[in-house]
Amino acid sequence: MKVVITVVGVDRTGIIAAVSQIMAENKVNILTINQVILDGIFNMAMIVDMDNSDITLDTLQDLLKQKGDALGVEIRAQNQAIFDAMHRVG
């Protein structure tokens, strides 16, 4: 299953490393990553593949929420199919 992960918050050192560490520890493959910092606000989108992971999407969401709370950023993860359906234009 492909999952879209978004991170938004005040920029600080270590955000990408912290999210990537969770992926590595749980056998979640990062397919693409894009990040930008605008006026001190960090914004990242990541698409990952959970096919070889031993955890569920719910567990990944919980891990990312905890890490986001610790870092002071908002991290969300959702199934790419649902994300695509919600953001389809027309």
Predicted confidence (pLDDT) per residue in 14-33, tens digit? 999 999 999 999 999 999 99
pLDDT category at 43 given cuts 50, 70, 90 is very high
Q: Give the per-residue pLDDT at 82.
A: 75
- pTM score > 0.75 for this model? yes
CA angle 37, 39, 42 (to 5 degrees): 30
DSSP three-state, residue 11: coil
Q: Give the per-residue pLDDT at 83.
A: 65
Domain ranges of the chain: 2-86
Q: What's the CATH code, domain 2-86?
A: 3.30.70.260
The tokens 């567990």 sit on which residue?
59
